[in-house]
Structure 1
């Protein structure tokens, strides 16, 4: 991983879209600082599309799509995208699975949650589970004392043994049934809402993230960037970002945004 200071200015001037994780990328210690939010505004003000790509739930994403300075949001690790049209006063929602499929999967996830809580002492259903449409989030450090790595691995194993997919973020293990991830829904969103072909545009898009559930994005985008806390997961991710900020969390995101914006301003 190269330092963010070496991010090519010529590449920064060609960027058309910034995709970003939220937890521990835009936030620090569970809070969204003004500087991080302002960086989103500045990027969008510079003519870039801005799209959070997060594991957070549909309820949160509805608010983010409506109120934040973004072009849409991809949530629950790729289960859906939401985009608010302020002219039509309409929220556009696209899910990978049908209503019926999500209902069946919800029953399976509810049964699985009981098994996980029984077999992994200290784990908890995430506080935001009430607002989720497609996945199950198991809290291992957000609102509970941090669990050891072996416990996190056990949660992942339980999801996978039930035929599900599990991804580890900086705070939760998110699990679901269905063959999708952050990258799959990003491809759909960019095509349907921004008119971008992901394969053609991949070197003009920056993704910012911090943890293992961002690995598909890190592996796909040649100019992916991580905040400094991504180094906490070195050796446990299938792919890492090409560039890494010197600062952690929201300060790292601001560092990434400023590198892109300063290069574009000097063009």
Structure 2
């Protein structure tokens, strides 16, 4: 019995160590990649897959049928094969970080961030453009990850997307040209490890292990009078401007809290004035602090 109990403690400690190590950002010296596969074949289903050189993985599949999250480690050989194909992929080693897009392409579209020679790069292209060997290595790694047990403990994920191009244009239309987008200093951003990790590695899903983690972000939004809502907000940093998003696990989304409705999101009446959507252009913008 004592040996069994000790074994369980060792496994629990290992799991906790893995989870805490992935709260922060991957190091540039590590081989790591995170990607979304958008499938038009199944009604625009969005699959998220993250893999590290040690075989640590996160798998998040969301569709009309529900949400599934799996985390843990797969055999290192799958990671080794995957990163070997990344290094030999013509698209991933191109000089520019933008892959080709096919207007009438009906297959899977891959959006991937990966460290290549110590540099974090982002690519988007039809999956078939990455090559058969790459697709095979990715599929095998995913299949191994799909055998991991479902993770029902994580509260949600935080991600940051650079506020550029059409997304920024739409943001300016909402807040108005005279919106005072105040800078949040790195010193303040570093006080929340999840926000900092998301900024360092855009598009990556940063695990939020508990409701407390989510609350620290909500408190940050309120204290800095940041424009947006609890699960979709905008921050200007020394690294650029970002749109942050929180994607809840099913258990967290279904858990009502004080001042919130049954969806787990704040009702309009409970959202502070500084967090409500901006008024039409020409009127004072919400969240400007004026």
| TM superposition score normalised by structure 1 | 0.27
Q: Greater share of helix residues, 1 or 2? A: 1
Q: Greater share of strand residues, 1 or 2? A: 2
Larger-Rg structure: 2
